[in-house]
Chain A
Amino acid sequence: MHILDLEAKLKIINFDHFAATSMRQEVKEAMDPFFINEYGNPQSIHALSDEPREALARARLQAADLLNATSNEVIFTSSGSESNNLAIKGTAFARMDKGKHIIVSKIEHFSVLNAVKSLTKLGFEVSEVSVDKYGLVDPQDVKNALRKDTILVSITHASNEIGTIQDIKEISRIVHENSGAYMHADANTSCGFIETDVKELGADMLSAAPHRFYGPKGTGLFYLKKGVRVMPLIDGGIQEFGRRAGTENIPAIVGAGVACELAKKELKDRTAHLLPIQKEIISGVLSGLDEVYLNGHPEKRLPNNINFVVKYIEGESMLMWLNNNGIMVASGSACTSKILKSSHVLSAIGVDPALAQGSLLISLGQDNSLEDAAFFIKELPGVVNKLRQMSPLYEGIKKENKAQKDK
């Protein structure tokens, strides 16, 4: 979508980092040699393969270091979605002799929900555990859903919509104490912003997406604990310990490694930078506008996520006006979803589908500042009021309020 008023030379404020982050300069510089000069295939024997092979090993170490894993427990995939698919389908196909039951939550990413949906067509059974109004999974609910034939529990570490952080440690403990199921944590949104220590979390598998934390697109991380077996989704050569065939995307992997190293080094600083901006936006918006609500947990949430419902207006039109003011946001409304369904996450936490249309999703990152927050807080009421004045739903509410006053 273009910005019509180019004359204004607006500063672009990216409040949609969950969609895309700009790569760090260090990441790009590390990748650069591997496109033209060091283009070799790490699986070759000759000298062309030496530097790419070393680079691959280095990246694996950097990723393992961020996750507190060993380097032979890290597999590079093409994306966070592939990692989630590998966890789910890979486990299902490897363990179907032990059982065909999988547990997920209602607020998983579509790469989890649609992967298990596909498996149901092959005779697998899926239990979706509910969440409370903040989006939290009760570990006891997971315990109650466990069966003798449960082979996998997959729960998102932090929601990509409402930012709620789950108690993966407790869920892992319960799963392992009460069943033989594997535990997978989808950390595609959390990794790079909060701790994703696999030993601390107790997960058997974990997915992460370096492009979410200033790495390149086209690569994903998959942690597979030593001794845990999954069947590959892509068969072929012996790349990635035979778990994921195909010539390695060395430039992207190198970039992912550097993004992991930076994340490890900067994790605390990132939180310290993001939290005040997040706090400012939440308090500024809630105090500046009537009938706006915050979704997700007030404390147990990612430092870079904010999710509001603005009543009586629709998210895409809000997004388009903000876009015109140089502010890039996302929405969970039906109109913005491309599948014309409003957010399943908002529905799972009990937001009325009509209200979910007014969803406004903000994801912060390294390039945001308190000035951006102030600008957004200043601009939003104008946009909301403009759209409310045009809304037949608001009109009805105004009349109701007036009628009540007149009584």
Chain B
Amino acid sequence: MPIYSEKVMDHFQNPRNVGEIENADGVGELGNPTCGDIMKIYIKVKDDKIEDVKFKTFGCGAAIATSSMVTELIKGKTLEEAEKISNETVAEALDGLPPVKMHCSNLAADALHLAIEDYRARKEGKGPIGRVETPEHDESDILEHT
């Protein structure tokens, strides 16, 4: 049995919305190079709706596929709708992820929420937020999944 679903493979091989947005309204960058995953999501917001979204990701197949999927899920959605999307929603939309990938590579929704937070912070003159380092995994994370 393949370790990744066909949907994961599709989004890995044909990632949607890869790139940067110049003069983005919000940027969410999240991850830890030691763990092997960094996600960066750019959003363009108009009338409280996500008009455009792009991403860049350093990471494994699951990290790339979840990033791609989250951009597809939120394009055209209101900020409120986008905020409701969780990492679990993204994994489900991809027909699941291997258990060990659930907590390390499934951060795309978190990166999106950070981008929205960054957008709001900028509006209030408090942004940008910059990259947020996620903690390294400890052994108990892993034993839970094996």
> With A1-B4, A338-B100 in contact, do A317 and B35 touch (Cβ < 8 Å)?
no
List B residues 1-42 near A (Cβ within 8 Å): 2-4, 9-10, 12-13, 15, 18, 20, 29, 33-40
Chain A at the B interface: mostly helix, strand, loop or mixed?
loop
Whole-angstrom CA separation of A93 from B67 in the bound complex: 51
Mark contacts of A223-265 with chain B using CB atoms, 8 A cut-off: 1 yes-contact digit, 0 otherwise: 0000000000000000000000000000000000000000000
> With A316-B61, A333-B36, A357-B36 in contact, do A340 and B142 touch (Cβ < 8 Å)?
yes
**Cross-chain contact B100 with A340 (CB below 8 angstroms):** yes
**Cross-chain contact B56 with A335 (CB below 8 angstroms):** no
> With A335-B105, A353-B33 in contact, do A340 and B137 touch (Cβ < 8 Å)?
yes
**Cross-chain contact B59 with A317 (CB below 8 angstroms):** yes
A134-142, A214-222, A388-396 - interface stretch: A388-396
List A residues 1-47 near B (Cβ within 8 Å): 1-2, 4
Whole-angstrom CA separation of A93 from B126 in the bound complex: 64
**Cross-chain contact A392 with B100 (CB below 8 angstroms):** no
Q: Is A339 an interface residue (CB 8 A)?
A: yes
Q: Is A336 an interface residue (CB 8 A)?
A: yes
> With A390-B18, A390-B57 in contact, do A2 and B100 touch (Cβ < 8 Å)?
no
Q: Is B104 an interface residue (CB 8 A)?
A: yes
Q: Is A312 an interface residue (CB 8 A)?
A: yes
List A residues 384-407 near B (Cβ within 8 Å): 389-395
Contact residues in B for A374 (Cβ distance below 8 Å): none
**Cross-chain contact A317 with B12 (CB below 8 angstroms):** yes
Q: Is A189 an interface residue (CB 8 A)?
A: no
Whole-angstrom CA separation of A389 from B40 in the bound complex: 13
Q: Is B73 an interface residue (CB 8 A)?
A: no
Closest-CB distance, A67 to chain B (whole angstroms):
35
Whole-angstrom CA separation of A60 from B101 in the bound complex: 44
Contact residues in B for A395 (Cβ distance below 8 Å): 20, 40, 56
Contact residues in A for B105 (Cβ distance below 8 Å): 335
Q: Is A286 an interface residue (CB 8 A)?
A: no
Task: Give B55's nearest chain A residue, CB to CB.
Answer: A390
Contact residues in A for B20 (Cβ distance below 8 Å): 395
**Cross-chain contact A4 with B33 (CB below 8 angstroms):** no
How many residues from A make CB contacts under 8 Å with B? 31
**Cross-chain contact B63 with A314 (CB below 8 angstroms):** yes
Contact residues in B for A196 (Cβ distance below 8 Å): none
How many residues from B make CB contacts under 8 Å with A? 36
Closest-CB distance, B144 to chain A (whole angstroms):
11
> With A320-B12, A390-B18, A393-B38 in contact, do A340 and B104 touch (Cβ < 8 Å)?
yes
**Cross-chain contact B37 with A314 (CB below 8 angstroms):** yes
**Cross-chain contact B37 with A392 (CB below 8 angstroms):** no
Task: Give A316's nearest chain B residue, CB to CB.
Answer: B60
Contact residues in A for B146 (Cβ distance below 8 Å): 338
Closest-CB distance, B33 to chain A (whole angstroms):
3
Whole-angstrom CA separation of A404 from B64 in the bound complex: 30
Contact residues in A for B38 (Cβ distance below 8 Å): 392-393
Whole-angstrom CA separation of A203 from B25 in the bound complex: 66
**Cross-chain contact B2 with A1 (CB below 8 angstroms):** yes
Whole-angstrom CA separation of A307 from B106 in the bound complex: 28
Q: Is A334 an interface residue (CB 8 A)?
A: yes
Whole-angstrom CA separation of A163 from B68 in the bound complex: 37
**Cross-chain contact A314 with B60 (CB below 8 angstroms):** yes
> With A4-B13, A335-B104, A338-B100 in contact, do A313 and B36 touch (Cβ < 8 Å)?
no
Mark contacts of B36-54 with chain A using CB atoms, 8 A cut-off: 1 yes-contact digit, 0 otherwise: 1111100000000000000
One of A314, A321, A342 near B58 (C-beta < 8 A): A314
Whole-angstrom CA separation of A343 from B101 in the bound complex: 18
Q: Is B141 an interface residue (CB 8 A)?
A: yes
**Cross-chain contact A390 with B56 (CB below 8 angstroms):** yes
Closest-CB distance, A314 to chain B (whole angstroms):
5
Q: Which 8 A-B pairs have the closest CB atoms?
A: A354-B33, A335-B60, A316-B60, A392-B40, A392-B56, A357-B36, A334-B36, A353-B34
Name 9 A/B residue pairs within 8 A (Cβ), A-sorted.
A1-B3, A312-B58, A314-B37, A314-B59, A324-B13, A334-B36, A339-B142, A390-B18, A393-B38
With A314-B59, A335-B63 known, 10 other A-B pairs at CB within 8 A are A1-B4, A1-B9, A315-B36, A334-B104, A335-B59, A336-B60, A338-B100, A390-B64, A391-B58, A392-B56
